[in-house]
Amino acid sequence: MRVVQKFGGSSVADAASIKRVAQRIVATKEQGHEVTVVVSAMGDTTDELLDLAQQVSPNPRAREMDMLLTAGERMSAALLAMAINDLGHTARSFTGSQAGVITSEKHGDARIIDITPGRIESALEEGDVVIVAGFQGVSQSTKDVTTLGRGASDTTAVALAAALGAGYCEIYSDVDGVFTADPRIVPGAHRIPEISYEEMLEMAANGAKILHLRCVEYARRENVPVHVRSSFSDKPGTWVKHIDEEDSV
Ligand code: ASP
Ligand code: MG
């Protein structure tokens, strides 16, 4: 089966984490799946790049900001491919543009218009693990590199899962899934094993930082099952999927 796995910034924060994530990816590949991975920038890299830009220029052009910020995801993608290659598997990293993520032209907040995953398809057919830099694409009209908004690597992952006909999309972060309340604040809060797209949309719209809003909209439209889980454990997380009203209580 084809699967897409997305690893957030906290899952690839340093060299050791990148090697750990590489092992998880290889394990999925060794189960016989064709694996496409989407990565975020390492740790706080995006914030650091934003801060650096401010120190250089008070009012940078949006085009240059996107050139700068997309570099963060490109670093983690290349490093992750190296770590996978060291585990005896072949991996190839791609920028959003190389992966065929075609967007509108609005820098900093571009929308995905189309995915043309030809290069990903051939790499998968050749047996490679594909690593795609998240949260970025290329504008159809200007041909410039764009970013999709903060947190949008989730959206990249679901969009690729839909375009590749993947069976599901896994979104890895440092939380064990979707909870009834914040377990750090509310004792007795528990993990929700399954949630509908509609309920998840409502949570995202109300500011829950679990999944990017557009990612959930995309998943619902394309009917991509999304498994939200932690990269720090093997525990099952929360499945966000189509749930028939009549079946639910
Ligand atoms: N690195 C980007 C951000 O911090 C995109 C992402 O992580 O999804 O917003
Ligand atoms: Mg995120």
pLDDT tens-digit profile of 189-237?
999 999 999 999 999 888 888 899 999 999 999 999 999 999 999 999 9
Write the pLDDT tens digit of every residue in 38-68: 999 999 999 999 999 999 999 999 999 999 9
Q: Is the CB of 46 under 6 A from ligand 1?
A: yes
Query: Alpha-carbon distance 238 to 220, whole Å?
Result: 15
**Radius of gyration of the CA atoms of the chain, in A:** 18
Angle 146-40-61 (CA atoms, 0-180°, nearest 5)? 30
Among 135, 154, 161, which Cα is nearest to 146's?
Answer: 135
Write the pLDDT tens digit of every residue in 133-144: 999 999 999 999
Is the per-residue pLDDT at 245 higher than 80? no
**Given this model, what pLDDT does residue 181 score?**
85
Span 104-108, average pLDDT:
98
Per the confidence metrics, is the pTM higher than 0.75? yes
From 40, 48, 174, the mutation candidate for ligand 1 (largest count of ligand atoms within 8 A of CB) is 40
- Helices marked H in 87-227 — which ranges? 118-125, 153-164, 197-205, 213-222
Q: Is the CB of 117 under 6 A from ligand 1?
A: no
Joined together, the tokens standing for residue 208 give 């829950």
Q: How far is CA 34 from the centre of its chain?
A: 17
- Helices marked H in 87-148 — which ranges? 118-125
Q: Is the CB of 151 under 6 A from ligand 1?
A: yes
CA 136–ligand 1 middle distance (angstroms): 10
Joined together, the tokens standing for residue 72 give 């963060």
Is the per-residue pLDDT at 69 higher than 60? yes
Among 8, 20, 32, which Cα is nearest to 87's?
Answer: 20
CA 249–ligand 2 middle distance (angstroms): 30
